Structure 1
Amino acid sequence: MAEAAGVSIATVSHVVNSTRFVSEKTKSKVFRAMEQLDFRPNAVAQSLRSQKSNTIGLIVPMLPSDTSNFFFMTIVQGIQKTLKQHGYQLLLSNNATEELEEEKEQIKLFNSKLIDGLIIASIADDASYLNDTVRSHYPVVFIDRKSEGYPGDYVLADGFGGSLKAVQSILDKGHEKIGFITGTLGISTSNERLEGYKKALADRGIAFDPSLMREANASFENGYECAKELIASSDITALFVANNVLTMGVVAYLQEQKIKMPEELAVIGFDDYDWTKITTPPLSVIRQPSFEIGVKAAEAMIQRIENSDKHEGIEYRLPTTLIMRGSC
């Protein structure tokens, strides 16, 4: 290739590896020769020499037939767009089993690819296992939910603030018996949304009533059953559903039973997906800044790579938005 470009082998190496200044005119000669010879730099060899792969690993938990996949894929778009602007590639892995062992195996695979950093929506409350698998070889940015036990940055939506705003808006309309349906508690996202619900009630002097709350794994069927149980066993006049998949089941039950929103039951759901705009009436929701979470996570990762001497983790909280439509 050096012969085709009419330059030295050292010059070709400097152009390919960006290790020294080379004039634009000389670069153009080398690039033309690369194109003519269909030359592709060996990324693995380059990363072994430089100890830098310009690749960021991403692990997210996405289940088949789960509408929350749209949430994570929008985050992925934000991450990928931002990394590309800084010359990085994204390596995506999906923990479809939501098993911790699967998460650990995916990280080991990433380690073999010599990634420069890891962005992860971990299923683990305690991420101390990363002390053995990552061992501070590269920075870690946690997204969507908080995991303790390993130093890293966090990029999260303000689930507490979103729930607080939703329930406050329901209270402002005169409702006091407000049902609450949540996904499985134990992960920070679900816990924070419950705390926002409780805080809104407490601020108005209304005691938290556990009988008005239902907790279930996020599925359409569970949302349907939770709505059925709450309406049959209580005199709620409003309902806040803190999970999108459960919201779908709730709306299906209300439509089947011809329960009118908001005349008979005011409803606010979580996440602003397209289907929420075409219900009758359109559904009021809390919108999460999914694309923005991706952008911020990538920016935080780039900052960590470029400033490796920083050790203290930073928590970034992105605001959620209450979108009022016809259901409340």
Structure 2
Amino acid sequence: MASIKDVAIKAEVSTATVSHVINGTRYVADKTKEKVYAAMKDLDYSPNMVARSLRSRKSNTIGLLVPLLAEDTSNFFFMSIANGIEQVLKENGYNLVLSNSNENADMEKDQIKVFNRQHIDGLVIAPVNGKEHRYEDQFNGEYPVVFIDRRPQGYKGDTILVNNRQGTKEAVEVLLNKGHEKIGFITGTLGITTSDERLEGYKESLAQHHIAFNKSYIKEGPATFQKGYQLAEELHKEGVTALFVANNVMTMGSVSYLQANDVKVPDQMAIIGYDDYDWMKIASPPLSVVRQPAFEMGKAAVEQLLKRIHGDTEGTNEVMLNSELVIRGSC
């Protein structure tokens, strides 16, 4: 492997000059920089990034911690967030390290400990369920943190969220305006702020249309395909004429039940799902959805994080992004 001394000899400069070019620690003329970069390329020389980060306490690496589950198609949502993050990071010379909490509080704590040891410059995190976890005691305070998608309880810090309440409210209003009064609501486990906010939007829309809230129309369970299928069946037997399904994987299960039992959509059952994926466009009929701005959330999160890294210490910042109601043929 080539060394910094080899680069200096080939570029006909001192090793100190090569170091200044690599680390940006002193002005070096453009012509000299070009010689150094050309020598590095010819020799296939890569700086020791670990040693540089230990010296400067800056690694140019951002961590992303998200709650991925093997059976949950919301993983696509978090990967879209990661794409938005990566686009901004590449433009600013940073790298991304992805980690998974598996929707488990203990695993999340362990992953934060790992990031604390890795000299990251900042962390973007979608926290696990909405219970209080005292995040102040988990972070080492050496890097800024931005929370996404879910609002952590008991922690004041930068957050980038989607207006789940408003998106759900608008979707349920569409169903109400089409004459549906018996509207079922299928959700993953409540207690996660996103799920709770979507339920609030459902209730608010009913109240504004003077429709009595019926607790039996609320069906909650693990966010799985099988549970979505089962809960759609229960609501169909209870006589609802429309469904709002608050996550993608349970939407898939609900649609599967309707298709398997020849329930005509939207004539016998209208349905609106949450999140927008390609399969929804080719369903028969195409599915109406609340679309989340996942890519934009990622970009907004890392832009806020970079501000903190570059010295902005003013207050805390909460950004609320709007979702988009996409009407197709299912309602």
**Which TM-score tier does this pair reach, normalised by the shorter chain?**
over 0.9
Query: Partners in 2 of 1:206 and 1:134 — Cα distance?
Result: 46
Report the CA distance shift for 1:121/1:301 in structure 2 as closer, same or farther (over 3 A): same
Q: Which residue identity lines up with residue 275 of structure 2 in the other structure? A: D
Q: Which residue identity lines up with residue 41 of structure 1 in the other structure? A: P
- Single out whichever of 266-275 and 62-71 deviates more from structure 2: 62-71
1:151 aligns with 2:139: no
Query: Partners in 1 of 2:71 and 2:129 — Cα distance?
Result: 22
1:120 aligns with 2:99: no
Query: Partners in 1 of 2:82 and 2:282 — Cα distance?
Result: 26
Query: Partners in 2 of 1:136 and 1:112 — Cα distance?
Result: 12
Q: Is the 8 A contact 1:52 1:114 kept in 2?
A: yes
Specify the SS of the correspondent of 1:14. helix
1:30 aligns with 2:41: no
Q: Is the 8 A contact 1:243 1:269 kept in 2?
A: yes
1:224 aligns with 2:229: yes
Matches within 5 A, 1:276-315: 276-310=280-314, 312-315=315-318
Match of 2:87 in 1: 81
Match of 2:20 in 1: 14
Match of 2:219 in 1: 214
How far apart are 1:39 and its partner, in Å? 1.5
Q: Is the 8 A contact 1:178 1:212 kept in 2?
A: yes
Matches within 5 A, 1:40-79: 40-79=46-85
Query: Partners in 2 of 1:182 and 1:286 — Cα distance?
Result: 14
Match of 1:106 in 2: 111
Query: Partners in 2 of 1:89 and 1:127 — Cα distance?
Result: 30
Match of 1:194 in 2: 199
Q: Which residue identity lines up with residue 254 of structure 1 in the other structure? A: L
Specify the SS of the correspondent of 1:83. helix
1:268 aligns with 2:272: yes
- The C-alpha deviation readout for 1:19-72, integer Å capped at 9, x for no partner, is 112111000111122122222111111111111111110111111132111111
Percentage identity across aligned positions?
A: 55
Q: Is the 8 A contact 2:168 2:198 kept in 1?
A: yes
Equivalent residue pairs, number: 325
Specify the SS of the correspondent of 1:208. coil
- Single out whichever of 102-111 and 193-202 deviates more from structure 2: 102-111
Partner residue of 1:237 out of 213, 226, 241 = 241
Query: Partners in 2 of 1:21 and 1:116 — Cα distance?
Result: 24
Partner residue of 2:322 out of 297, 319, 322 = 319
Query: Partners in 1 of 2:144 and 2:154 — Cα distance?
Result: 14
Query: Partners in 2 of 1:116 and 1:78 — Cα distance?
Result: 18
Query: Partners in 2 of 1:95 and 1:105 — Cα distance?
Result: 9
Report the CA distance shift for 1:61/1:113 in structure 2 as closer, same or farther (over 3 A): same
Q: Is the 8 A contact 1:139 1:152 kept in 2?
A: no
Q: Is the 8 A contact 2:188 2:222 kept in 1?
A: yes
How far apart are 1:86 and its partner, in Å? 1.1
1:247 aligns with 2:251: yes
Query: Partners in 1 of 2:54 and 2:62 — Cα distance?
Result: 16
Report the CA distance shift for 1:100/1:277 in structure 2 as closer, same or farther (over 3 A): same
Specify the SS of the correspondent of 1:56. strand
Q: Which residue identity lines up with residue 326 of structure 2 in the other structure? A: I
Specify the SS of the correspondent of 1:141. strand
TM-score, scaled to structure 1: 0.96
Q: Which residue identity lines up with residue 134 of structure 1 in the other structure? A: F
How far apart are 1:104 and its partner, in Å? 1.3
Query: Partners in 2 of 1:124 and 1:324 — Cα distance?
Result: 30
Partner residue of 2:45 out of 39, 44, 61 = 39
1:141 aligns with 2:146: yes
C-alpha RMSD of matched pairs (Å): 1.3
Specify the SS of the correspondent of 1:114. coil
Query: Partners in 1 of 2:302 and 2:190 — Cα distance?
Result: 28
Query: Partners in 1 of 2:23 and 2:66 — Cα distance?
Result: 32
TM-score, scaled to structure 2: 0.95
Gaps of 5+ in 2: 1-6
Query: Partners in 2 of 1:236 and 1:259 — Cα distance?
Result: 12
Specify the SS of the correspondent of 2:265. coil
Query: Partners in 1 of 2:155 and 2:165 — Cα distance?
Result: 23
